[in-house]
Amino acid sequence: MRKHETAVFILPAGLLVCALLGVPMLMMARISLNHYDPMVLMVEALTAENYLRAVTDPYYQQVLMVTLGVALSSTVLTLLLAFPAAYWLSRMESRWKSTVTILTLFPLLVGNVVRSAGWIALLGNDGLINATLQEAGFIVGPLRLLYTPGAVIVGIVGVVLPYMVLTLSAVIEGIPRQVEEAAGNLGARPLTVFRRVVLPLATPGVVAGSVLVFILCMNAYATPVLLGGPQFQMMAPAVYDQFSRVSNWPFGAALAFILLIVTLLMTVVGSAALSRKYRAA
């Protein structure tokens, strides 16, 4: 009886996901197999030419590699920054813990475009950082901080950091303090306790947070466009350009599916590698 009750509750959500996500993806898959014609825009066909062009064109190969590099760098940096903050938040016993959690969520209330505008004000040639360094006499001319891969990574990390912190803190909070205390009583140093006790037990949070952040980084749009400049290309802006500027829907759909497939493959491989590594530890 319980199985039937569970199915009844799951069925509406499943149908809604299929309607809102599955059907559009099937339509996009069909569009990606059509032929592009500048005169009529799209001709009904069953051809893989769009996928072949995407995987053989050096420009789009470079765009995909840049996207992977930025996504992986941002994910690793986010994990390194988030773990100490998540540990501190999860072990916090103050009555201000709820307030700190809300403050962690607060950046999510600000749109990516607004956040990117803030980074432009900080990193621009006439921005706060360059102006401060020049006033202090550390530099003569402005540093090129904006429209660089570093600026894009910093901007993306600022967007995804709260997701990683909250995911990790929820898992670390479930690790009993007594386990760490027992390891310390047995002579383990703090770094050893972290490496041999806390980190393996926090593996589910590391995997879940890394997967979520990596997916968000791979599909970033506003931050690369605003902080990377016109010469910096990632896959999401490239897909948008094919749909909106070039009106090449078949090729844009093929690029979108290649982005989806690469993201899924990297997510599965990365999750399996992380789980295997910390399970062995």
What is the Cα–Cα distance from 255 to 55, expressed in whole angstroms? 9
Domain ranges of the chain: 52-90+103-280
Confidence at residue 75, expressed as pLDDT on a 0 to 100 scale: 96
Tokens of residue 83, six digits: 């773990």
Reported pTM? 0.89
| Mean of all residue pLDDT scores within the chain | 89
Q: Is the pLDDT of residue 229 over 60?
A: yes
CB 220 within 8 A of CB 159: yes
Q: Is the pLDDT of residue 210 over 90?
A: yes
What is the Cα–Cα distance from 154 to 48, expressed in whole angstroms? 37
Tokens of residue 55, six digits: 């995987």
Percent residues over pLDDT 90 in the chain: 52
What are the residues facing 35 on neighbouring strands? 43
At the topology level, CATH places domain 52-90+103-280 in MetI-like fold (1.10.3720)
What is the rounded average pLDDT of the residues 254-269?
Answer: 92
Q: What are phi and psi of 256, to 5 degrees?
A: -65, -40
Taking only the tens place, the pLDDT of each residue in 136-188 is 888 888 999 999 999 999 999 999 999 999 999 999 998 888 888 888 888 88
pLDDT band at 279 (very low <50, low <70, confident <90, very high): low
